[in-house]
């Protein structure tokens, strides 16, 4: 009987420890997305914040109408954000503040996929899927694909 109770207690403690680690990773992932992507890239064109949260081999991946794929590397995206601020935009790409709503965070070991709603001002313009990997220096955004919300569906 004591053995069964001890085994049950051990399993419960182990499960709680694993759950706590996943919750910690989820918070770290959300912070990376907020600090590097939303605030760093979209709102402030802050290259230091961007580079802290994006992997150097990051690619933004999109599809053209002819079903071909295009890619944008992080260096080019940073350059575009900076040019937006230089042209007088209040924020990096537009004059509306960017915010996101986290819809899901799926973590498997050292990889994660996050689904977010992307807002410019009060208008939701995209559904983003961000892929992240955990490195020695923390979670990094390694790729993004997205779905633009058609103007009539907002």
Question: pLDDT digit string (tens) for 95-113?
Answer: 889 999 999 999 999 999 9
- What does DSSP assign to residue 88? T
Cα–Cα distance list, 49 to 31, 43, 52, 88, 115 (Å) = 11, 11, 5, 21, 21
Burial of 17 (0-12, 13-18, 19+ CB in 10 A): exposed
Q: Are 26 and 107 in contact (CB under 8 A)?
A: yes
Q: Residue 93: pLDDT band by 50, 70, 90 thresholds?
A: confident
* Those residues with Cβ within 8 angstroms of residue 115's Cβ, 6 or more apart along the chain or in another chain: 102, 103, 104, 127, 128, 129
pLDDT in tens, 65-74: 899 999 999 9
Task: Kindly report whether the global pTM for this prediction surpasses the value 0.85.
Answer: no
Q: Are 113 and 119 in contact (CB under 8 A)?
A: no
| Strands of 123-135's sheet in order across | 69-73, 54-63, 138-148, 123-135, 111-120, 98-108
Q: Residue 29: is its pLDDT beyond 50? A: yes
Q: Residue 86: pLDDT band by 50, 70, 90 thresholds?
A: confident
Q: Residue 10: pLDDT band by 50, 70, 90 thresholds?
A: very low
């Amino acid at each position: 009987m004591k053995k069964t109770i001890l085994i049950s207690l051990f399993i419960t403690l182990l499960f709680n420890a694993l759950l706590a680690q996943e919750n910690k990773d989820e918070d770290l992932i959300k912070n990376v997305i907020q600090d590097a992507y939303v605030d760093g890239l979209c709102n402030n064109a802050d290259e230091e914040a961007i580079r802290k949260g994006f992997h150097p081999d990051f690619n933004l991946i999109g599809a053209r109408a002819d079903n071909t794929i295009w890619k944008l590397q992080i260096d080019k995206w940073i350059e575009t954000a900076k040019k937006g601020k230089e042209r007088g935009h209040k924020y990096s790409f537009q004059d509306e503040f960017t915010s996101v709503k986290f819809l899901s965070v799926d973590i498997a070991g050292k990889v994660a996929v996050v689904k977010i709603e992307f807002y410019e001002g009060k208008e939701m313009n995209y559904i983003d899927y961000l892929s992240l990997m955990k490195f020695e220096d923390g979670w990094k955004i390694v790729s993004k694909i997205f779905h633009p919300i058609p103007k009539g569906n907002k």
